Amino acid sequence: MIGGNESCTAGPIPMSYLTCLTYFLGEWTGVEHIEDYLSYAVYLLWVLFPLAVVFLLPSVLIILFYTSILLLHIYKRKNELKEAYSNDFWDGAKEMLATLWDGHGRIWHGYELHGAENIPEGPGLIVFYHGATPADYVYFMARLLIQRKRYCHVVADHFVFRLPGFKLLLDVHGVMHGPKEECVSALKKGCLIAIAPGGVREALFSDEMYTIIWGNRKGFAQVAIDAKVPIIPMFTQNVREGIRTLGGISKIFSIFLLPIVPLYGGFPVKLRTFIGEPIPYEPNITAEELTAKTKAALQALIEKHQKLPGNIFRALMERFQTQKKED
């Protein structure tokens, strides 16, 4: 076995391993003074490494999603499931994935859920602010299932259903396309549903000021009125500090209608989800009035629990604080 202090030789002159490698590379490529180029390459690597990490960390979420899909396929194979299956069959798989995501939320973000008592025992429509990714909603769903044994369906953008390999994950978790009739039917059956009216546009174009971008969308309000259920506002503190989008490049979405833009961050900032007081059903309210009321309730949660403008360093430091802004 060769010791760490031994050297290799090239001709009569003994050399260290690094010098030896440089020598052979020079001989192979024919480039003189290749050690200068290597030193420059090492320097660039050292300088660019933090930048590379910032853009690579968000891929952890993608890895977790596909790990979840892989676990579902293993679960399906282990139980020799063929084509038809019931919701009860997947209860064990849902709890397994909830444990996986809740563990990630606890370890990486010190995730906390506040105000879960505001969620009614019966049906309800949760309306939340959409960060650059929906990771905070996944943490919420996992924690709710673990603590309250309550499952929450979510309405997703159409492009999510075109993501490769996601079909099983979406089917198992009852993710919905969002037709009003389907949502109303599910609510009348007693389901809990979550929706971010801002959707992908809010995810891409909102910023550290946490601007609510709903446009003229009020279909969710009509769903709540037709189903005669309360609306529950929800907001996650520091959600835009964990992962951010490159604002200028986000304009690609408005041109090509593609929700694919570079993300950066993945920082272990403190995340706290706050559930506001329910907005009860009123028989005589219009969709426009209920939309305005819901937006005001969500804005109040943002102003109460988020320091504006958002700051990544401050959000990181909040991991070491025991008190939140206001509870």
Distances (CA, A) of 309 to 189, 210, 250, 275, 315: 41, 8, 20, 21, 11
Q: What is the pTM of this model?
A: 0.80
Q: Which of the four pLDDT bands, split at 50, 70 and 90, describes residue 320? A: confident
| Beta carbons of 253 and 204 less than 8 angstroms apart | yes
Computed over every residue of the chain, the mean pLDDT equals 83
Q: Which of the four pLDDT bands, split at 50, 70 and 90, describes residue 125? A: very high
Measured CA to CA, the distance from residue 124 to residue 144 in angstroms comes to 14
Q: Which of the four pLDDT bands, split at 50, 70 and 90, describes residue 277? A: very high
The amino acid sitting at 146 is I
Q: What is the pLDDT of residue 36?
A: 60
Measured CA to CA, the distance from residue 196 to residue 138 in angstroms comes to 13
Q: What is the pLDDT of residue 5?
A: 44
pLDDT at 79 over 90: no
* Residues 208-265: tens digit of each pLDDT: 999 999 999 999 999 999 999 999 999 999 999 999 887 655 555 555 555 567 788 8
Q: What is the pLDDT of residue 157?
A: 87
List active site positions: 130
Measured CA to CA, the distance from residue 75 to residue 163 in angstroms comes to 21
Range with lowest mean pLDDT among 29-43, 257-271, 278-292? 29-43
Q: What is the pLDDT of residue 271?
A: 97
Q: Which CATH number fits domain 59-77+89-319: 2.50.20, 3.40.1130, 1.10.155, 3.90.1570?
A: 3.40.1130
* Residues 162-183: tens digit of each pLDDT: 888 999 999 988 899 878 999 9
Q: What is the pLDDT of residue 254?
A: 53
Better-predicted residue by pLDDT, 173 or 78:
173
pLDDT at 16 over 50: yes
Q: What is the pLDDT of residue 126?
A: 98
Burial 132-153 (b: 16+ CB within 10 A, else e): bbbbbbbbbbbbbbeeeeebbb
With H, G, I as helix, E, B as strand and everything else as coil, classify residue 315.
helix
Share of the chain above pLDDT 70, in %: 74
Q: Where in the chain is the domain with CATH 3.40.1130?
A: 59-77+89-319
* Residues 280-315: tens digit of each pLDDT: 999 999 999 999 999 999 999 999 999 999 999 999
Measured CA to CA, the distance from residue 265 to residue 46 in angstroms comes to 19
